[in-house]
Structure 1
Amino acid sequence: MILPIVAYGDPVLRKMATAIEKSHPNLEELIDNMWETMYNAHGVGLAAPQIGQPIRLFIVDTTPFADDDELSKEEQKALKGFRKVFINAQIEEETGKEWAFNEGCLSIPDVREDVNRKDTINITYVDERFEKHTETYDGLLARVIQHEYDHIEGVLFTDKLSSLKRRLLKKRLANISKGNIKVEYRMRFPNLKKGR
Structure 2
Amino acid sequence: MKVFTLGEQVLREKALPVEHINDDIRSLTERMFVTMKEHNGIGLAGPQVGEKLRLFVVEIDDGIKRVFINPQIIETSAATSFYEEGCLSVPKVYENIERPEKIRVQAFNESGRPFTLDADGLLARVIQHEYDHLEGVLFIDRGDPEFKQKTIESFQKRAERKAKKEAEKKAREAKIAAKRAAKEGTDSGAHSAPEKAAV
- Same fold per TM (> 0.5)? yes
TM-score (norm 2): 0.78
The match for 1:17 is 15
- Which of 100, 118, 121 is the matching residue for 1:136? 118
The reply to whether residue 151 of structure 1 matches residue 151 of structure 2 is no
Task: Find the counterpart in structure 2 of residue 116 from structure 1.
Answer: 98
**TM-aligned CA distance change 1:19 to 1:113, over 3 Å:** same
Please tell me whether the aligned partners of residues 59 and 83 of structure 1 are also in contact (alpha carbons under 8 angstroms): yes
- TM-fit CA distance, 1:44: 0.3
Whichever residue aligns with residue 86 of structure 1, its letter is F
Is 2:22 aligned against 1:40? no
- Structure 1 partner of 2:84: 102
Shift of 1:169: 2.5
Q: Which of 164, 174, 177 is the matching residue for 2:156?
A: 174
Partner of 1:55: 53
Alignment correspondent of 1:75: none
Alignment of 1:154-165 (within 5 A): 154-165=136-147
RMSD between superposed Cα atoms in Å: 1.8
AA of the residue aligned to 1:131:
R
Structure 1's 24 and 153: CA in aligned 2 closer, same or farther, altered over 3 A? farther
Q: Distance in 1 between matches of 2:33 and 2:160?
A: 26
Cα 1:8–1:177, aligned 2, differ >3 Å: closer, same or farther? farther
Is the Cα contact below 8 Å between 1:93 and 1:123 reproduced in 2? yes
Distance 1:112 1:131, change over 3 A: same
**Who is 1:31 aligned against?**
29
Q: Which residue of 2 aligns with 1:85?
A: 67
Conservation of the 8 A alpha-carbon contact between 1:8 and 1:176: no
Q: Measure how far apart 1:38 and its partner are.
A: 0.6
Residues 58 and 23 of structure 1, relative CA distance in 2, 3 Å threshold: closer
Kept in 1, the 8 Å contact 2:21–2:111? The answer is no
Q: 1:142, 1:19 → 2: CA distance?
A: 22
RCO higher in structure (CA 8 A, sep ≥6): 1
Q: Is the 8 A contact 1:45 1:144 kept in 2?
A: yes
